[in-house]
Amino acid sequence: MNSLAEFFSFADPNIRYVVLGSVLLTASSAIVGTFTFLNKRSLIGDAIAHAVLPGICLGFIVAGTKNPLVLIVGAFITGWLSLIVVEYINRKTRIKEDTAIGLVLSVFFGIGILMLTVIQKSGNASQSGLDHFLFGKAAALVGSDLFAFLIVALILLVVVYVLFKEFALMAFDKAYAKSIGYPVRALELILTSLIVLAVVIGIQAVGVVLMAAILITPAAAARFWTDKIVVMVLLASAFGAFSGLTGAYISFVAPAMPTGPWIVIVISMIAFISFFLAPKRGVVYRLIRQNNIRQTINNENVLKVLYQLGEENKNFFIHRHLDEIIRRRKYEKSTLQSILRRLLNQGYVEQTGNLWSLTEEGKNKAQRVVKIHRLWELYLTTYMKIAPDHVHEDAETIEHLLTPELEAELEKQLGYAKLDPHQTKIPYQHE
């Protein structure tokens, strides 16, 4: 644990640079990325990331050195140019946006690689390190890099803070934003500039190829956990910051490990965890919920069988053998036993020896299900003119689903009818 203490003391300025740089970068691009995600333009980040490479090379050719300012300006220019080309292709030809992005991305990146190769072969000594832009150099961040990161992160934060309401409105309903006279074009321009800015800075840490991941993945992960846009933005930046911190730490304890790719692996893991475990939207939650529904349906069906048998014998509390239930409704014996045991635990049935009977509560619950079933059949034949021999299957599902409010409404609309379409009595609770 020594390394942990040493890492988090931030005594080593090198650690400080790497950690601060990674966190600033990931957190701020996650914030901008949230709006890209909500605008359903996730791919655009990838296009920009690839398109900045020729700009960087061009900057180097013009300046002759790796002057960061010139490189950034170059990156900014080609990043923007790629967007303009995408929009132009989209507007003026029949090619759709996704295809246009694919085209622009590969053409710009291809030119970038070409220029990079030429520069590397040119024998210019100061070119070494230019290829860092391909895969990032988070572990080698220095003080001056950090300063640039800080400035850009601040710009991103302030602009998003000031224009939060506007960006959210545009992501939700652009036509409306336009109709109330908001400068939609200018706002889009600002948001896109922010993305370009985030990408230009971000690729220095994680590189061209992985940039799209730190832009979009935090937002995609955050979306699973919340339905509030403010929370989503905060969560996305927290996920981003955490992955930045963890990535830096991993490459600190295992120096062979690269920081940038680890940042991406961590944020991807967060996304996977969100995908599986998030409440409501997560896969596991949905599985559990489906299982609960299946159990409810099984429980109620068995109660219903006992109730219907009781109707025939004019006594609801006769103790019955499993086979009697199975004759009415097909079950594996073991399945039926586990359903009955569950009902026993819930207090809806009683067991004497290997015989089972309804309790008073069980009878009431079963009666409600049967009542809804028959009411729904009647509703379908009365209001929807469906033939009586077609309504049973529908009612089999609806009987487990209806809320008490809808149940009351159904009773009222049908005037508390006495008989269902098959001339069977509809049982009401207070009879």
- By beta-carbon proximity to another protein, the closer residue of 108 and 224 is 224
In sign, the C-alpha dihedral spanning 51, 52, 58, 60 is negative
- By beta-carbon proximity to another protein, the closer residue of 69 and 230 is 230
Contact 175, 163 (CB under 8 A): no
56 binds another protein (CB under 8 A): no
How far apart are alpha carbons 249 and 149 in whole angstroms?
19
Question: Could you tell me whether strands 355-358 and 349-352 are parallel, antiparallel, or unpaired per DSSP bridges?
Answer: antiparallel
| Helices 143-162 + 184-223 axis angle, to 10 | 110
DSSP 427: P
Mark 174-193 with x for binding to another protein (rule: CB under 8 A) and - for no binding.
-xx-xxxxxx----------
How far apart are alpha carbons 223 and 227 in whole angstroms?
7
- With CB under 8 A as the contact rule, the residue among 41, 132, 137, 223 that binds another protein is 223
- By beta-carbon proximity to another protein, the closer residue of 239 and 249 is 239
DSSP 425: B
171 binds another protein (CB under 8 A): yes
- By beta-carbon proximity to another protein, the closer residue of 204 and 226 is 226
Note the maximum CA span of the chain. Answer: 100
Count residues binding another protein (CB under 8 A): 25
422 binds another protein (CB under 8 A): no
Q: How far is the CB of 199 from another protein (least distance, A)?
A: 24
Positions in 36-55 near another protein (CB under 8 A): 38, 40
Phi first, then psi: give them for residue 409, nearest 5 degrees.
Answer: -65, -40
Mark 131-170 with x for binding to another protein (rule: CB under 8 A) and - for no binding.
-------------------------------xx-xx-xx-
- With CB under 8 A as the contact rule, the residue among 173, 323, 361, 409 that binds another protein is 173
How far apart are alpha carbons 153 and 25 in whole angstroms?
7
Per DSSP, the three-state class of 417 is coil
Phi first, then psi: give them for residue 245, nearest 5 degrees.
Answer: -65, -50
| 7 closest CA partner among 30, 143, 137, 20 | 20
Q: Which stretch binds another protein (CB under 8 A): 55-63, 110-118, 227-235, 260-268?
A: 227-235
Q: How far is the CB of 80 from another protein (least distance, A)?
A: 23
Q: How far is the CB of 324 from another protein (least distance, A)?
A: 43
Residues that bind another protein (CB under 8 A): 38, 40, 162-163, 165-166, 168-169, 171-173, 175-176, 178-183, 223, 226-229, 232
